[in-house]
Structure 1
Amino acid sequence: MKHTRRAVLKWTAAAAWPKSWQSLALAQMQLTQAERMQWWEDARFGLFLHWGLYSVAAGVWKGKPIQGAEHFMLYERIPLAQYAQLANGFNPVKFDATAWVRLAKDAGMRYLVITAKHHEGFAMYDSPSSDYNVVKRTPYGRDPMKLLAAACHEQGVKLCFYYSLGRDWQDPDVPTDWPTRGGRSNTWDYPDEDRKVFSRYFERKVKPQVRELLTQYGPVGVLWFDTPELISREESHELLTMIRSLQPACIVNSRIGNGLGDYETSEQTLTPGKPARPWEACMTMSRHWGYFRNEIGYKSPEVLVRDLVEVVSRGGNLLLDIGPSPEGEFPAPAVERLKAIAGWMKINGEAIAGTKPWPAPGAEAADSAAQPSVAGEAVNDQTSHTTEPAIRFTTREGSVYLFALSWRSPQVVVEMLPQTRLRVQRLEMLGAGKAVSWHQDAEALRIQLPPDADRGLPVYVFRLQSGD
């Protein structure tokens, strides 16, 4: 293999990895964009984890409920010196990286995105460039990302890092302009917006920390940036170039800023912002991104599975969020839901992973029951919490998968199918273990649900094949 200067740089970044990872890095040097994206487009489902100092507060500050959820340092205007004391309470002695990854994998999630640094500016890993990190400042004194990287690598789940790009309330040089000038800046510790120079922060903190994340933990599937804010086009380009030189297979989302990135990110909605590009919906399982001790409003397993189907049938990925506790545990309701999703995916996962949307002209007419709507009980959540019956489709390897969402009547009737000119020759219900009765005529496809079909999670999947 001919080694160009760029290839040598890539290899130097990976030289400290174990030999198996070194071999992988070499193999990734010549990837095309399509090859780089393939695993992600096949994955369809990932786990999002918001874990930070806000997890210690768990919804309460000085005995009172907080405003702003994970952003409460901003909303409550808490001085950095006070906020930093939360690190004294971060000691996740119950953290079990292997168990976390296993729960995700069992639920059919093929990648895991965790907050390496959120807007609070605290690094949840051992950051040589900033001592404001979990190893230096907490009683835990260990690097949880190393444990998570090892568990992901062992179980075949892609490790990915979230990094807050244009907001950092610990650093004095981070101006913002949303929704107004200084609207998301730390103006109580650093009041003069005119003196803040983003490029100083970019050089001092962003570039070193992104380099650390790409050189300390082996292969990274995605760098998931948030809030680009005032990053310049030149800086976005420089950052992307550095990422490609360090880990050529690593992909980035659109929040690297300035129109760059490999895919679009939609937040708390089930529809893409720019449907022409690959896209991902990130969504909370409950009301908040991070841990709240007295959390309410968890979505039901049925709604969560519906949301997964809605996104995948539109060609997107779903990144489903959980906020671990400061002790290192997933909340019990989140575990219950992951296990329920795992049970459904064990039967129906082939209709999710590796699939693409199946065009069904006229399907839009049946879409009204599942359109995103504002859910008043959730924080910034525009996803629908309704469970009206709906039909969705995906396809892979010559099969069409028909989803009957929230179907409680004994017969599934699909009236739009004849418009697709699909003449069904074979039909089976995933997980049924026996033949189901069905009939297709000029008006509709009619499927009789077996009497013993599980009504606990009424999202049924049928594999359709034509005679062509």
Structure 2
Amino acid sequence: MSAAYRGSMLRTIVIAVISALLSPAPVAAAPGPGTNYAVDDAFTSPRTAWWRDAKFGMFVHFGDYSGWGGEYRRPDGTICRDAEWIRLRCEIPWPEYEAAAKKFNPAKFDAGAIVKLAKDAGQKYLVVTSKHHDGYAMWPTKVNKWNLRDTSAFDPNRDILAELKQAADAAGLKFGLYYSINDWHTTGTADNYAQYKKDMHAQLKELMTAYHPDLMWFDGQGQPWWSLADGEELQSYLHGLNPNLIINDRVTKSRGIVDGDYETPERQANIPAAPIAAVPWESCVTTSDRWGWARYDTNFKSSSVLTRYLLDIVGRDGDFLLNVGPDDTGVIPKGAQDSLRGVGQWLRANENSQAVYGATYTGLVADPAWGAVSRKGDKLYLSVYDWPDVGKLHLSTLDKFGITGARVLGSDQAVGWAAAGDGFDLTPSGAATGPIATVIELTITTPAAVPGSGTGLKAQYWKNTTFSGTPEVTRVEPALNFAWRTKGSPAPSIPADGFSARYTGFVQPQFTGEHTFLTVSDETVRVWVDGKLVIDNATPHGPAVNKAAVTLQAGKKYSIRVDYTESTGEAYLKLLWANPNRKQRVIPAAQLYPA
């Protein structure tokens, strides 16, 4: 890196620090009665729109552990193999581990090259490890000396997070940071918990004010000393620093339906087979077998496999965060580079990217055995892995729609279609456009959504769990989207524990057909639609999703009632719906009318 570039980076950092010092400290949402931590609906919010549309991101696992190359020779001469967990799983003594960190020198780290690789791969955002479980900070933190500037042989004038942030901004990529709540290097974390949490918040403020991440990706949340209240406090603190920040579910206890903005199933074996009920999601997968670099780990997944993972995930309403692990010098292995570039080549060819960016799940068709299907507006994109040399592709439908046109992206071949059995048969007339996937674009017709003019539901809140006496608070709630957690409640006059809520009015569907109503609740919930009890979970429970299928007519108003109680502990209530023509979301105010 040139001296001029280093100077530019240093000026960027200085300006960011000065700006942070001069700006007034943000104020987090006040905890306690009256607080609702659910600031929006992650399915529809402008805050999360870029992430929902991006679909494909790069995960970068890089730290002092990379210097080991995944191998540790024990005193008896045997070899222990791991990667980012090598300190713990190979039981490396701390003095030996710290001595190795002093020699760590990723001098060939090139933020521009990494960001260019992400662009070449078609990725829209980047998430890099700022601190993994061994506690080693990859930025010049002032909290301790266990960091890349103070404990390494790396140029102390360089800051790889600042370099990546600048390169990502220049390339138009969104920037995210991984941070481990767990910290093996901090001795007595459970015993000196208050100080550790203070240091954690100080480090996170450094990251937020110096690098301005769009997304925080937490991990290591499974420790017994990390409580639900801690996660609640941390989310509130971070949103006080940046109200637009996107946060993953591992900020608390990785219970996707109530923690953070989205759920994070890990590795290819756990890619969901369908949309996850009541929560957005992102699947993180390794390019080879390990997250961090290991010199023996050369089992790189092919471009074909990775592209099909991406298409499957998009067709099931998820995002795909694909990991790379730079080596001890800071360079991403060639095998990973080749695989990623192959994905990008497919996306750029034949307009194939139309099936990915901004596309999503459609409830109109079943997930086919021959490939994946995504939707964008009046288009369905059929990504065909197994192209028929002779014959038809069958598409099973879950709701009625019409087809007015069909074409193969990147080809002038004709595609026929005809109603058959439980859906349509499609008959292409030529060859596949490539070996990974050939995309057929269908232009479809569906009913127009019937607009609503509602304002919400009538809400009544009692300072007891039996709906007894006169309600303490009566008002109109525009939506049922509450995360009161451990300290919040519906209103300042209502305590965090021991309250009940009743919501009444009418719901007006935008489409005719089957609707799935979903509730997220802790601790009891009951829902009536058109006078019928459709959800009945009156046994006290922790965070849970309940569903009910109800057939409705577009534009007609149906009575709805929701009863909820909270005795002790956490409190959550969300009311969502989904329809083949409208993916799941919190029911909006425009479709709800107070009684």
Q: Tell me the TM-score normalised to structure 1 length.
A: 0.79
Do the aligned partners of 1:116 and 1:124 also contact (CA within 8 Å) in 2? yes
Q: What does residue 152 of structure 1 align with?
A: 168
Q: Is 2:198 the partner of 1:220? A: no
Match among 37, 57, 62 for residue 51 of structure 1: 62
Task: Note closer, same or farther for the CA distance 1:467–1:37 as it changes in structure 2 (3 Å cut).
Answer: closer
> Alpha carbons of 1:336 and 1:449: their partners in 2 closer, same or farther (altered >3 Å)?
farther
Identity of aligned residues (%): 31
Aligned twin of 1:251: 246
User: How much does 1:410 deviate?
Assistant: 1.8
User: What are the equivalent positions in structure 2 for 1:214-293 lying under 5 Å apart?
Assistant: 214-217=208-211, 219-228=212-221, 229=223, 230-258=225-253, 259-268=258-267, 269-271=270-272, 274-293=276-295
Which of 175, 184, 190 is the matching residue for 1:169? Answer: 184
Q: Which amino acid aligns with 1:337?
A: S
Q: Classify the secondary structure of the residue corresponding to 2:87.
A: helix
Residue 142 of structure 2 corresponds to 128
Paired residue total? 395
Q: Residue by residue, what CA displacement relative to the aligned partner does 1:90-109 show, whole Å, maximum 9, x if unpaired?
A: 22222111111111122221
8 Å Cα contact 2:410/2:433 also seen in 1:
no
Deviation at 1:293, TM superposition (A): 1.1
Distance in 1 separating the partners of 2:40 and 2:398: 37
Distance 1:440 1:147 in 2: 55
What's the counterpart of residue 450 of structure 1? 430
Instruction: Give 1:17 deviation, angstroms.
Output: 5.0
Counterpart amino acid of residue 134 in structure 2: E
Could you list the runs of 5+ residues in structure 1 that have no partner in the other structure?
1-12, 26-30, 176-195, 368-389
The answer to which structure has the higher helix fraction is 1
Q: CA deviation at 1:438?
A: 2.5
Note the alpha carbon deviations across 1:415-461, whole angstroms, 9 max, x for none: 234554333221122222x2333332424422326337223x2x111
Equivalent residue, structure 1, for 2:373: 393
Q: 1:409 to 1:416 in 2, by over 3 A?
A: closer
1:35 is matched with which residue: 46, 50, 64? 46
Q: Using the alignment, how far apart are the partners of 1:56 and 1:297 within structure 2? A: 20
Amino acid at match of 2:118: A
CA RMSD of aligned residues (A): 2.4
Larger radius of gyration: 2
CA contact (8 A) 1:50 1:289 kept: yes
Partner of residue 361, structure 2: 357
Q: Which amino acid aligns with 1:439?
A: W
Q: Render the CA deviation track for 1:73-99: whole Å, top value 9, x for unaligned.
A: 111221222111222332222211111
What residue in structure 1 maps to residue 408 of structure 2? 429
> Is contact 1:119–1:164 with CA below 8 Å preserved after alignment?
yes
Greater CA deviation, 128-137 or 54-63? 54-63
TM-aligned CA distance change 1:408 to 1:435, over 3 Å: closer
1:462 aligns with 2:463: no
1:174 Cα offset (Å): 2.7
Query: How far apart are residue 346 of structure 1 and its match?
Result: 1.0
Q: Which residue of 2 aligns with 1:6?
A: none
Quote how far apart the aligned CAs of 1:235 are. 1.9
**What is the distance in 2 between the residues matched to 1:39 and 1:412?**
40
State TM-score, norm by structure 2.
0.63
Greater Cα shift, 234-243 or 393-402: 234-243
For 2:332 and 2:291, locate their aligned partners in 1 and report how far apart those are by CA, in whole Å. 13
Selected match of 2:98 from 56, 71, 84: 84
How far the C-alpha of 1:322 sits from its partner, in A, is 0.7
Separation in 2 of the partners of 1:95 and 1:17?
A: 28
Give 1:124 deviation, angstroms: 0.8
Report the secondary structure of 1:265's partner residue: coil
Whichever structure has more strand as a proportion of its residues is: 2
Contact kept in structure 2, 1:44 and 1:354, CA below 8 Å: yes
- Asked if the contact 2:275/2:317 (under 8 Å) is kept, the reply is no
- C-alpha contact 1:265 1:273 (8 A) present in aligned 2: no
Q: After superposition, what is the alpha-carbon deviation per residue over 1:355-376, rounded to whole angstroms, capped at 9, x for unaligned?
A: 1201145x25x55xxxxxxxxx
